Amino acid sequence: MIELAIIGPTASGKSDLAIKIAKKIDAYILSIDSLSIYKEIDIVSAKPSKDELASVKHFGIDVLYPDEYFSVDIFISLYKNVQKECEKDSKNLIIVGGTSFYLKSLLQGLSPLPDISSSIEKKVDLKLMDLQNAYDSLFNLDEEYMKNIAKNDKYRIQKALLIYEASNMTPTQWLKHNPPKPVIKNLDIYNIEVERKLLRQRISKRTQQMLSSGLIDEVSYLEQKYSRAPNSMGAIGIVEVLEYLDCKLTKEEMLENISIHTTQLAKRQQTFNRTQFENITNAPLKELEEIISSKFDI
State the pLDDT at residue 121: 94
Share of the chain above pLDDT 90, in %: 91
Total Cβ atoms within 10 A of residue 240:
25
Sheet hosting strand 280-284, strand order edge to edge: 58-59, 27-31, 92-97, 3-7, 188-193, 280-284
Q: Report d(CA 21, CA 172) in Å as an integer.
A: 42
Region 252-278: mean pLDDT is 96
Contact 142, 168 (CB under 8 A): no
Region 170-176: mean pLDDT is 96
Q: Which residue has the higher pLDDT, 186 or 287?
A: 287
State the pLDDT at residue 279: 85
State the pLDDT at residue 219: 98
Q: Which residue has the higher pLDDT, 110 or 227?
A: 227
State the pLDDT at residue 182: 92
Which long-range contacts (C-beta less than 8 Å, at least 24 apart) are formed by 177-185?
A: 178/111, 178/112, 179/111, 180/108, 180/109, 180/110, 180/111, 181/109, 182/106, 182/107, 182/108, 182/109, 183/76, 183/79, 183/80, 183/105, 183/106, 183/107, 183/109, 184/3, 184/106, 184/107
pLDDT above 90 for 71? no
State the pLDDT at residue 29: 98
Region 245-253: mean pLDDT is 98
State the pLDDT at residue 266: 96
Ranges of beta strands (E only) in the chain are 3-7, 27-31, 58-59, 92-97, 188-193, 280-284
Note the pTM of the prediction, 2 decimals: 0.86
Torsion 47-49-52-57 (CA) sign: positive
Confidence grade of residue 207 (pLDDT, cut at 50, 70, 90): very high
Rounded to 5°, the CA angle 158-140-178 comes to 55
Identify the DSSP state of 62.
Answer: S
Q: What would the pLDDT profile of 6-29 be if each residue is shown by its tens digit? A: 999 999 999 999 999 999 999 999
Torsion 140-144-150-153 (CA) sign: negative
Close Cβ partners of 81 (under 8 Å, ≥ 6 residues apart): none
